Structure 1
Amino acid sequence: MSNYARVTGVSEVELVTEEKPTTLPPGAVEVAITYCGVCATDTHNYTSGGKVPPAVFGHEWTGTIARVAEDVTTVEVGQRVVACVGPACGACAMCVGGHSEHCDLAFAEANGVDPHAPVHGGFAESVVVQARRVLPLPDQVDDVAAALVEPTAVTFHAVRRTAQELGALVVVQGAGPIGLLAAQHARHAGAGHVLVIEPNPERRAAAEALGFTDVREPGEATQEHLLALTDGRGADVLYECTGAAALLQPSAELVRRGGTLSLLGFPMTDSTVSYGDWQVRELRVVSSLAYLHEDFVGAVRSIADGSVAVAGLHTGTIGLSELAATMDELDSGRTSHAKVLVDPRR
């Protein structure tokens, strides 16, 4: 038997006990979950009553291979793995058309709607997925760090898509987990200067603890500081990591003419922007969602070699029975947590 959590209504979660299948489908593995991170998508799903696919509720998981189907040869029982999306399939319309970086199958896996998507996510004691959906972990990445690979892959993908130039003056808007990871990737990618903008003093302190020396509150003084740094030009690249719809146009106005606005945060409402302003200044706008298989490979390597530090983002560990209360706290806007991990063994 195995327990998992699912959303049953607006701000309602129930624990379900299911019987494990006696045999695994072809190509599948069973993973015993060690940790599963809680992210904003999970909180939105909880408060909206289940608006995202069930497999996405708990998608930042890591664990150990408990069983493998007879035809699986890529991983073995006892290996530590992290959830990922599979490599480009080579057979979908996008792959056949030469656009494997937008493989339909990998995109469906990232969004929990592929043909083999499990009926629940990683807020569980175990989960059954296709073997292509797991990535073995090196010993240098411990279990807590492994639970943070998924958001690291999200930001790795975004910075890679942005094609930030060496020496760029970079602004990171928001110092939550996504902003802190994006800032580290930007630094690792050769940024000449990184300015982090964040209203929350605890998050500003977290950015400073990661070695960022130019961390400021939003406001007119910070805008003047940016203009002074750039002789009045503005940022070469701005990573918008808050997802606050009202910040989209103000963020764009911090970017120099011909610079890049990179969108990571996902707004839940429509945004109002000045298209004419963007056109006149020839802004380059890059959006990103989720990741590719190679982003997970890069994320694991960046954690293993110390280029990106994730341990400091972990601020609490709970059991499955505490999930609803934690979701309420995270949704309140009055939490000091950055990244909470669920340990289903507690």
Structure 2
Amino acid sequence: MTSAESTFLTVAGPSQLQQGRETLTDPGPGRVFVDITYTGVCGTDVHGYTDGSMLPPAVFGHEWTGTVSAIGTGVTTVAVGQRVVGGVGPACGHCAQCVAGHARQCDTVFAEANGVDPEAPAHGAFSTRVDVSQRRVIPVPDEVTDIEAALVEPTAVTFHAVRRTAAEHGAVVVVQGAGPIGLLTAQHARNAGAGHLIVSEPSAARREVATGLGFADVVAPRDLRTRLGVVSNGLGADVFYECAGVASLLQPSAEFVRRGGTLALLGFPLTESTVSYGDWQQRELRVVSSLAYNHEDFVGAIRSIASGRVDVTPLHTGTFALDDLATILDELDSGKSNHAKVLIDPRR
């Protein structure tokens, strides 16, 4: 019999956390226990914390890596002692989307990604241990460090977005926002064959990180229009990745795109946006939205990190204990933090 006490944190109300304890004794059929090594703090976690009620419990603390400590009957994909990351399973093959031939839009995977499937864990991984379905764990190769593994989930989010956008090789690409999502998107876009890539970011510190990742054309937003005009001979971007998630930037972002070009939406604003429908229609904009990921995106993200084609380590700016979580969430919500990606280590 496997038995251990786990400590976890959940959202108890607007900007309030609650500590819980549970004793986990033997995983059920098809389930595994994972001892958490690191959990990344995502913008979604910050929004869920400040709102107090918007997130399903499994989503608060969804960027995690750890080691399998016990497996239930019927588990075939992982073994005890194996390092894993939290993810989603392959397309189920029997939901309405799969039966209709749309496996990339599998209803089961979509529910898993949003923490609302029947097998969703009772809480996220701001915890010492989680009890999850084997569908949610993906093995980590030896070439990937624990820090890198903790950043697989946002790498999968951005891998998914760039894969959906399917830009042509040689495209003039703009990435708006050089936070973790923007910097990962830029690396995937570069790997996907961008001909000229411009990163736009108001923070000098983040522009410096982008330059350190090998991006030669990094500008402040005030200089973007002039620089893009020079690069594109006045046409505009072939592809514009909006990664800031600021509602007021939606229409201005579209106006940077050339006629017939693509506006790709990754940022997730929490307020309504106003756009010029006529402008978008007259210029035949192609708009590609993106949310979460598929199992294949995790596989591709892990391979990209393992091969060195995506460098996630410069995004990691701090590691804190579980008891520090509320302080970190408050700091990130303030808009004054210098952190990019913060990790929580529940072993501290």
TM superposition score normalised by structure 1: 0.99
**Which sections of structure 2, spanning at least 5 residues, go unmatched?**
none
Residue of structure 2 equivalent to 1:200 = 203
Helix, strand or coil for the counterpart of 1:306?
coil
Q: C-alpha distance in 2, partners of 1:292/1:301?
A: 15
* Cα displacement (A) at 1:73: 1.7
Aligned-pair identity in percent equals: 65
Q: Secondary structure at the match of 2:144?
A: coil
- SS of the residue 1:19 aligns to: strand
2:59 to 41, 56, 60: 56
| Distance across 1 between alignment mates of 2:92 and 2:28 | 19
Q: What is the alpha-carbon root mean square deviation over aligned residues?
A: 0.6
- Count the aligned residue pairs: 344
Check the 8 A contact 2:176/2:200 in 1, yes or no: yes
1:155 to 148, 153, 158: 158
Secondary structure of the structure 2 residue equivalent to 1:33: strand
Map of 2:13 onto structure 1: 9
Letter in 2 for 1:243: G
Matched residue, 2:300? 298
1:284 paired residue number: 286
Q: Does the alignment pair 1:86 with 2:86?
A: no
Give the letter aligned to residue 29 of structure 1.
V
Shift of 1:222: 2.2
Deviations 1:278-314 (A, max 9, x none): 0000000000000000000000000000000000100
AA of the residue aligned to 1:23: D
In 1: Cα distance, 2:185 partner to 2:288 partner? 14
Q: Secondary structure at the match of 1:204?
A: helix
1:127-138 aligned at under 5 Å gives the runs: 127-138=130-141
Q: Cα distance, 1:14 vs. partner?
A: 1.9
**Is 1:38 aligned to residue 41 of structure 2?**
yes
Counterpart Cα distance in 2 of 1:76 and 1:228: 54
Matched, 1:23 2:26: yes
Q: Residue deviations 1:59-113, cap 9 Å, x none?
A: 0000000000021122100000001100000011110111110000000000000
Alignment of 1:41-190 (within 5 A): 41-190=44-193
Cα distance in structure 2, aligned partners of 1:222 and 1:45: 32
Tell me the CA shift for residue 154 of structure 1: 0.2
* SS across alignment from 2:64: strand
Output the CA distance in 2 between the equivalents of 1:200 and 1:313.
14
Q: Which amino acid in 2 is paired with 1:5?
A: L
* Matching residue of 1:270: 272
Q: Distance in 2 between matches of 1:63 and 1:134?
A: 10
Which segments of structure 1 move beyond 2 Å, counting only runs of 4 or more? Answer: none
What TM-score comes out, normalization by structure 2 length?
Answer: 0.98
Mapped to 1, the partners of 2:62 and 2:292 lie a distance apart of: 11
Judge conservation of contact 2:35–2:129 (CA < 8 Å) in 1.
yes
How far apart are 1:186 and its partner, in Å?
Answer: 0.3
CA–CA separation in structure 1 for the residues paired with 2:119 and 2:28 = 9
Letter of the 2:17 counterpart: V
CA distance in 1, matches of 2:145, 2:336: 30
Question: Aligned match of 1:258 in 257, 260, 282?
Answer: 260
Contiguous gaps of at least 5 residues in structure 1: none
2 CA distance for matches of 1:231 and 1:73? 55
| 1:123-144 Cα shifts (integer Å, max 9, x gaps) | 0001011111111011110000
Deviations 1:19-57 (A, max 9, x none): 11x232211001000000001000000000131100000
AA at the equivalent of 1:329: E
Cα deviation, residue 16, structure 1: 1.2
